């Protein structure tokens, strides 16, 4: 199901990317880093609908302009979902019209179950929105690699890989792996767009 919106009049390609994953895994931090390092002319206002304690309540939103391809501006709308388990109804809503998903997993041992549950929850919620995780552009980010109690990458891959998707190690607070993740999902989305011709 292709939802990428091509505006031939404004010469724009518009894509929606959703950062999914367990609570406190670093989804918002990914967007904040992208916002910080992007020049003002290539980004819009970042919106965060968060609780008083800065936990995501509904979503974060960052519009980003990646540049031109064939004279068309490639505009990406980046969203996060609330990671906490009880916000499942909101997570489903954010997946509407999605073009690609980044799963931000928490590498810490005590958060492994939450990351596994998040992949399963993503698969289920995508199905409910008429998408198939096997077919949709998808990237796995293993975040918080700098913390002392992380699980080895190979073990995390064994537990979390869904379909042989690209995997990136990240330390989102320092920006490590954040742009590689973004580029990988943007590439997949644009390649999908080409395939749909």
The sign of the CA dihedral 56, 80, 118, 147 is negative
CB of 109: closest distance to another protein in angstroms? 34
The structure tokens listed for 131 are 């998408």
Interface pick for another protein out of 40, 54, 89, 110 (rule CB under 8 A) = 89
CB of 74: closest distance to another protein in angstroms? 6
In degrees, rounded to 5, the angle at the alpha carbon of residue 79 between the alpha carbons of residues 77 and 82 is 170
Which is nearest to 179 in space by CA: 14, 22, 16, 34?
Answer: 34
Which is nearest to 111 in space by CA: 153, 146, 149?
Answer: 149
| Residue 49-78 contact track with another protein, rule CB under 8 A, x = bound | x--------xx-x-x--xxxxx-x-x--x-
- Alpha helices for 2-64 (secondary structure H): 27-37
How many CB atoms within 10 Å of residue 196?
9
Question: Which of the ranges 19-27, 149-157, 162-170, 179-187 carries the binding residues for another protein, by CB under 8 A?
Answer: 179-187
Question: Which of the ranges 5-13, 26-34, 114-122, 160-168 carries the binding residues for another protein, by CB under 8 A?
Answer: 5-13
Establish if 175 lies at the interface with another protein (CB under 8 A): no
| Residue 13-52 contact track with another protein, rule CB under 8 A, x = bound | -x-x---------------------------xx-x-x---
**E strands of 95-196, at which residues?**
100-106, 138-143, 167-169
Note the residues at the interface with another protein (CB under 8 A).
Answer: 1-10, 14, 16, 44-45, 47, 49, 58-59, 61, 63, 66-70, 72, 74, 77, 89-90, 92-94, 96-99, 183, 186-187, 190-191, 193-194, 196-197
């Amino acid at each position: 199901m292709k939802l990428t919106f091509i505006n031939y009049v404004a010469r724009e390609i518009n894509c929606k990317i959703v950062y999914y994953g367990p609570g406190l895994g670093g989804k918002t931090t990914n967007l904040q880093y992208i916002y910080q390092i992007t020049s003002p002319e290539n980004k819009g206002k970042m919106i965060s609908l968060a609780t008083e304690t800065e936990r995501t309540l509904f979503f974060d939103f960052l519009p980003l302009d990646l540049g031109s391809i064939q004279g068309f501006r490639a505009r990406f709308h980046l969203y996060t979902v609330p990671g906490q388990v009880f916000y499942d109804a909101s997570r489903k809503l954010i997946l509407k019209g999605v073009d690609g998903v980044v799963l931000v997993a928490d590498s810490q041992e005590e958060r492994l179950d939450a990351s596994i549950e998040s992949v399963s929850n993503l698969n289920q919620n995508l199905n409910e929105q008429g998408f198939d995780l096997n077919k949709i552009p998808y990237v796995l980010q293993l975040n918080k690699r700098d913390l002392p109690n992380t699980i080895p990458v190979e073990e995390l891959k064994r537990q979390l890989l869904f379909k042989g998707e690209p995997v990136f190690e990240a330390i989102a607070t320092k920006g490590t792996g954040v742009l590689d993740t973004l580029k990988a999902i943007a590439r997949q989305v644009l390649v999908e767009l080409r395939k749909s011709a």
